[in-house]
A and B are shown apart, each in its own frame.
Chain A
Amino acid sequence: MSENNVRKVAINTTINGQEMDILVDPYVSLLETLREVVGMTGTKEGCNDGNCGACTINIDGRIVDSCLVLGVEAEGKNIETVEGMATPEGLHPLQQAFLEEAALQCGICTPGFLVSAKALLDNEPKPSEERIRHWLAGNLCRCTGYDKIVKAVKKASD
């Protein structure tokens, strides 16, 4: 029983294709749930108020800032994080492009950008530079100036 005498809630959710049952405090974000309860730290906390996109994940085909979603809302949903992008066959073309184009410096924003960009390419195979910049406007990067990130997304779309 947690401090406020509120019971944890049992939820069933699917993360990166794997179905699981987890116990979640009802007042905790999905970001915190992923990192602390499920133990997947690939999704990062940058601001915890929906302004940097470092915590971007994909829920049922839609990208969201997981800090703005409650853990309990994961019930019955399909969640995709950066950890699910590579397969036994290899890296996702976006991940490969990020490496080849040097689209990361410190790398903390990279998981968020990859999940965001994947959602774009899943729906629009050949976006223009402007479209890419617009789509990624919700992901902050302080290191790169976005130049190589945009180039990497373009490369992956080819």
Chain B
Amino acid sequence: MVSKAKKSDYKVIGTRPIRHDGYDKVTGRAQYGADIKLPGMIYGAVLRSPHAHAKIKNIDISKAENMNGVFAVMTAKDLPRLTDKQRGNSEESGSEKHLSENVMAFDKVLYKGHVVAAVSANDVNTAREAIKEIIVDYEVLKPVINVDQAMDKDAPILHEDFIGDHLGKKVKNTNIATYNRYKIGDADDAFKKCDLVVEKEVELQTVHQGYIEPHSGTAIWDEDDRVKVWTSTQGSFSNRDSVSKVLNLDVSRVKVTPMEIGGGFGGKIPVYLEPIAAVLSKKSRRPVQLVMSRTDVFDASGPAPGGKVIVKIGVDKNGKMLAGYADIRLEAGGYPEAFIEAAAKCVFSCYDIPSMDIEAYDVLVNKPSSAPYRAPGSPQVAFATETVVDEICKKLDMDLIDFRLLNVAEKGTRTALGPKYRKIGLKEVLEAAKKSDHWNSKLEKKSVNGKVRGRGIASGYWFNIGEKSAVNLSLNMDGTVILTEGSTDIGGSRASIAMQAAEVLGINAESVRPSVVDTDSIGHTDVTGGSRTTYATGYAAYKAAHMLIDEITSKAAKIWDISEGDIIYKDGILSSRTDSELNMTLREFADRNPFGPVVSSASVDLEEAAGGFGTHIVDLEIDPETGKTDVIRYTVLQDVGKAIHPSYVEGQLQGGATQGIGWALNEEYFMSDDGKMLNSSYLDYRMPIALDLPMIETVLVEVPSEDHPFGVRGVGETPICPPVPAISNAVNDAIGTRILSTPIKASKILNTLKSM
């Protein structure tokens, strides 16, 4: 692990204090979504469609309603019908109608597991028995389960009344929700001038974020038509917006209290159970709690889109890229949004290509509605691009890193969507890769026990969304500071936010006490996602800390009866320029201050920032008799801007890489022809375990961002982008053939070896 910043630059930033919420989390005291118990609380269960595509003809809830122990039963009849109004950008797009229908189906079910009804009862087992008594009359329809089937001219249509947007043209009777195209320069012409053109098509299966904590939702709908929600969410405010929308209430009538969250990776941005809990609570006049089973999580919560990606790159004889073309087809699931804009943004993001032409399709299929998964759209396209790059290097006999450096994207490079990059650090990352221990170590192609080995390298990118955050600070009587913020903490963010405030205030990290609070207690704060939290909420903390110092110095000036300009505030100590006798610590100040509570409040609405590029190097070993692949060495290099708490930055790199490794080698939605996920358990949806991995080396390259006072770049998402192609390239290095579909599982490797 290498940090290039001088240790002495900062007092708190770059250190590794114990996270403030750590003690609660290692003792089991921390309360996650399903841990909350409210007085009088009852439990709910949901009825889910067994069919991937069907019309709902009738739902008979009479038997369930009359069961002993059942309080209430609901169907979509209990929800308002919403309009086609688009919801906008952020992490949840599509229309209001789609949001609501995904929570509970109105007329049609679009994936196995789609909710059709729900029950509240004394205890969860009674509720589960009761949903079995609900009789649903379905007219089963033929499903489409991948982009090819969905785009076929005779394909059954998921949304009969939906109007697709195909490059601005409104199109009916289509499963292509959106078709868009992006052009820079003249790629057709540029390809003709190339000395070498390489094209590859890759296919990816649907994968799930795999967070260990299932979704839950606990709600009270009270006599004043106010709804209180307790949930594990990546965004209390986006949750509040969605819940209030589905229930047709003003936003102010809903209060969301975020519980601790057991993983999200984007998947805990959409709402699922909260509106259901609220309606059941209204009908039961009790607090209601619903928790998803693991099967439900797989069947019905948003996975990451599978799909097909074609990338074609043309170079001149020296290896300079002249043209790039991509065809991106991603599965949106039952409702629109397959993150094709982001995919288009990222496909050529690592390279300076003067002419680009990208076509992208957002395709409806009978699978659960796709949700963001750590850099949504980017890993899918990185697979294709980094495969093509690897192939070009082989054909031109060029070094894998030198080629990338020759074509590297840097400040001023025009991106596929149009704007030019501001300051970015891919060049520095590639140079660090070139110098790295891993890259310079020799890899024996054959191990003693007959296994074959290969090495692969790949790059990837995700940007940082900015958006809104608010932070409040308050000085305690003992000179410590309370910090309240609204960013739910998935991976140590409350510590890094507190550290940024502590750095400004000149006190130690432990002296700033952070809390993540509910939607009534803090200004609007956007989701913990999009790699924005350390950047944006940290910036708000930075601002609030400066404002607190202003408050302190103004009050200290009054205490000492000197001018504010004479006050020096440094490292938590107040002194005077003009009188060396005047000296007090924050604690002494707090004690002496008669001018009222010392508080500050700051908010930001930040622009998108350039984010950090990553390059991964992987060595793997394949057993030619079983096809099993072991990762034997893995290095993650990434531009992190400035690592506030290096341990948690390293953690993001290691965690994201591990998810990518699972995506590359084992993970997939294994679907039956009629659209049912056959491996909806952790046994068969095979995520990496401790035994699958070596230690994951991390190299933190720091090219400070221009957009944050400490140079912070959000790091969370980029690490999942390079692993799939890095591993695919390594497999090719080992066995001499590319496997261009995920997962690159043992059976595929064996079949490939047999056919060679």
Q: A-contacting residues of B (Cβ < 8 Å)?
A: 16, 18-19, 21-23, 25-32, 34-35, 37, 67-69, 123, 125-126, 129, 209-214, 260-265, 291, 293-294, 490-492, 645, 647-648, 650-652, 654-655, 657-659, 681-683, 687-691, 693, 695-696
Give 11 new A-B contacts, CB below 8 A, not counting A45-B291, A83-B27: A41-B32, A44-B32, A48-B294, A86-B27, A98-B22, A99-B19, A145-B651, A146-B658, A148-B647, A148-B651, A150-B690
Asked if A146 and B690 sit within 8 Å, CB to CB, the answer is: yes
Asked if B125 and A25 sit within 8 Å, CB to CB, the answer is: yes
Q: Which residues of A contact B69 (CB under 8 A)?
A: 3
Q: How far is the CB of B632 from chain A (nearest CB, A)?
A: 13
Asked if A141 and B212 sit within 8 Å, CB to CB, the answer is: yes
Asked if A3 and B647 sit within 8 Å, CB to CB, the answer is: no
CA distance A114 to B657 in the complex (A): 23
For residue A85, CB closer than 8 A to chain B, the reply is: yes
CA distance A106 to B265 in the complex (A): 11
For residue A17, CB closer than 8 A to chain B, the reply is: no
The 8 sampled A-B contact pairs (Cβ below 8 Å) are: A98-B26, A99-B19, A102-B16, A102-B650, A106-B263, A107-B21, A107-B25, A144-B658
**Interface residue SS majority, chain B:** loop
The 10 A-B residue pairs with the shortest CB-CB distance, nearest first, are A42-B28, A108-B262, A102-B647, A145-B658, A107-B25, A51-B682, A145-B654, A105-B491, A41-B35, A47-B294
Interface contacts (Cβ under 8 Å), in number, total: 187
Asked if A105 and B655 sit within 8 Å, CB to CB, the answer is: yes
Asked if A133 and B690 sit within 8 Å, CB to CB, the answer is: yes
Known: A49-B681, A150-B690. A110 touches B25 (CB 8 A): yes
Q: How far is the CB of B269 from chain A (nearest CB, A)?
A: 15
Q: How far is the CB of A91 from chain B (nearest CB, A)?
A: 7
Asked if A150 and B695 sit within 8 Å, CB to CB, the answer is: yes
A27, A91, A99, A108: which contacts B212 (Cβ < 8 A)?
Answer: A108
Asked if B32 and A147 sit within 8 Å, CB to CB, the answer is: no
Asked if A143 and B28 sit within 8 Å, CB to CB, the answer is: no
Q: Which residues of A contact B492 (CB under 8 A)?
A: 102, 105
Asked if B294 and A40 sit within 8 Å, CB to CB, the answer is: no
A48, A104, A142: which contacts B22 (Cβ < 8 A)?
Answer: A104
Q: Which residues of A contact B27 (CB under 8 A)?
A: 42, 82-83, 85-86, 91, 95
For residue A72, CB closer than 8 A to chain B, the reply is: no
Q: Which residues of A contact B18 (CB under 8 A)?
A: 99-100
Contact with B along A140-158 (1 / 0, CB 8 A): 1111111111110000000
Q: Which residues of B contact A42 (CB under 8 A)?
A: 27-29
Asked if A133 and B293 sit within 8 Å, CB to CB, the answer is: no
Q: Which residues of A contact B657 (CB under 8 A)?
A: 145
Q: Which residues of B contact A101 (CB under 8 A)?
A: 647
Asked if A106 and B261 sit within 8 Å, CB to CB, the answer is: yes
Asked if A147 and B696 sit within 8 Å, CB to CB, the answer is: yes
CB-CB contacts below 8 Å: A46-93 with B? 46-49, 51-52, 54, 81-83, 85-86, 91
Q: Which residue, A41, A54, A100, has most C-beta atoms of chain B within 10 A? A: A41
Asked if B682 and A47 sit within 8 Å, CB to CB, the answer is: yes
Asked if A139 and B690 sit within 8 Å, CB to CB, the answer is: yes
Residue of A nearest to B691 (CB): A137
Known: A46-B214, A108-B213. A99 touches B22 (CB 8 A): yes
Q: B-contacting residues of A (Cβ < 8 Å)?
A: 2-3, 25, 27-28, 35, 39-49, 51-52, 54, 81-83, 85-86, 91, 95, 98-102, 104-111, 114, 129, 132-134, 136-151
Residue of B nearest to A97 (CB): B26
Q: Which residue, A85, A140, A146, A150, has most C-beta atoms of chain B within 10 A? A: A146
Asked if B691 and A83 sit within 8 Å, CB to CB, the answer is: no
Known: A28-B125, A45-B214, A137-B691. A105 touches B26 (CB 8 A): no
Q: Which residues of B contact A132 (CB under 8 A)?
A: 690
Asked if A143 and B491 sit within 8 Å, CB to CB, the answer is: yes
Q: How far is the CB of B640 from chain A (nearest CB, A)?
A: 15
Q: Which residues of A contact B262 (CB under 8 A)?
A: 44, 106-109
Known: A45-B214, A47-B682, A110-B26. A105 touches B648 (CB 8 A): yes
Residue of A nearest to B492 (CB): A105
Residue of B nearest to A96 (CB): B26
Q: Which residues of A contact B212 (CB under 8 A)?
A: 44, 46, 52, 54, 106, 108-109, 140-142
CA distance A144 to B695 in the complex (A): 11
Q: Which residues of B contact A137 (CB under 8 A)?
A: 689-691
Asked if B210 and A39 sit within 8 Å, CB to CB, the answer is: no
Q: Which residue, A28, A99, A150, has most C-beta atoms of chain B within 10 A? A: A99
CA distance A115 to B16 in the complex (A): 25
Asked if A102 and B293 sit within 8 Å, CB to CB, the answer is: no
Asked if B28 and A43 sit within 8 Å, CB to CB, the answer is: yes
Asked if B263 and A108 sit within 8 Å, CB to CB, the answer is: yes
Q: Which residue, B212, B652, B695, has most C-beta atoms of chain A within 10 A? A: B212
A27, A95, A141: which contacts B26 (Cβ < 8 A)?
Answer: A95
Residue of A nearest to B684 (CB): A51
Q: How far is the CB of B491 from chain A (nearest CB, A)?
A: 4
Asked if A144 and B651 sit within 8 Å, CB to CB, the answer is: yes
Q: Which residue, B26, B67, B648, B654, has most C-beta atoms of chain A within 10 A? A: B26
Q: How far is the CB of A2 from chain B (nearest CB, A)?
A: 8
Q: How far is the CB of B220 from chain A (nearest CB, A)?
A: 19
CA distance A108 to B27 in the complex (A): 11
Q: Which residues of B contact A44 (CB under 8 A)?
A: 32, 212-213, 262
Asked if B28 and A83 sit within 8 Å, CB to CB, the answer is: yes
Q: Which residues of A contact B652 (CB under 8 A)?
A: 105
Residue of A nearest to B297 (CB): A47
Asked if A149 and B37 sit within 8 Å, CB to CB, the answer is: no
Residue of B nearest to A138 (CB): B689
Q: Which residue, B293, B492, B691, has most C-beta atoms of chain A within 10 A? A: B691
Asked if A106 and B490 sit within 8 Å, CB to CB, the answer is: yes
CA distance A28 to B124 in the complex (A): 11
Known: A51-B683, A52-B682, A142-B659. A3 touches B26 (CB 8 A): no
Q: How far is the CB of A28 from chain B (nearest CB, A)?
A: 7
Q: Which residues of B contact A111 (CB under 8 A)?
A: 28
Q: How far is the CB of A143 from chain B (nearest CB, A)?
A: 5
Residue of A nearest to B645 (CB): A102
Asked if B294 and A41 sit within 8 Å, CB to CB, the answer is: no
Asked if B690 and A149 sit within 8 Å, CB to CB, the answer is: yes
Q: How far is the CB of A79 from chain B (nearest CB, A)?
A: 13
Q: How far is the CB of B277 from chain A (nearest CB, A)?
A: 17
CA distance A41 to B645 in the complex (A): 29
Q: How far is the CB of A22 from chain B (nearest CB, A)?
A: 15
Known: A137-B690, A145-B658. A114 touches B26 (CB 8 A): yes
Q: Which residues of A contact B29 (CB under 8 A)?
A: 42, 83
Asked if B658 and A46 sit within 8 Å, CB to CB, the answer is: no
Residue of B nearest to A133 (CB): B690
Residue of B nearest to A83 (CB): B28
Q: Which residues of A contact B28 (CB under 8 A)?
A: 40-43, 81-83, 111
CA distance A73 to B267 in the complex (A): 36
Known: A3-B129, A145-B693. A99 touches B654 (CB 8 A): no
CA distance A141 to B693 in the complex (A): 12
Q: Which residues of A contact B31 (CB under 8 A)?
A: 41
Residue of A nearest to B634 (CB): A145
Known: A3-B69, A148-B651, A149-B690. A108 touches B26 (CB 8 A): no
Asked if B687 and A145 sit within 8 Å, CB to CB, the answer is: no
Q: Which residues of B contact A83 (CB under 8 A)?
A: 27-29
Residue of B nearest to A111 (CB): B28
Q: How far is the CB of A84 from chain B (nearest CB, A)?
A: 9
Q: How far is the CB of B661 from chain A (nearest CB, A)?
A: 8
Q: Which residue, B19, B32, B260, B690, has most C-beta atoms of chain A within 10 A? A: B690
CA distance A45 to B216 in the complex (A): 12
Residue of A nearest to B661 (CB): A145
Q: How far is the CB of B681 from chain A (nearest CB, A)?
A: 6
Asked if A106 and B294 sit within 8 Å, CB to CB, the answer is: no
Q: Which residues of A contact B650 (CB under 8 A)?
A: 102, 148
Asked if B696 and A102 sit within 8 Å, CB to CB, the answer is: no
Asked if B22 and A105 sit within 8 Å, CB to CB, the answer is: no
Q: Which residues of B contact A28 (CB under 8 A)?
A: 125
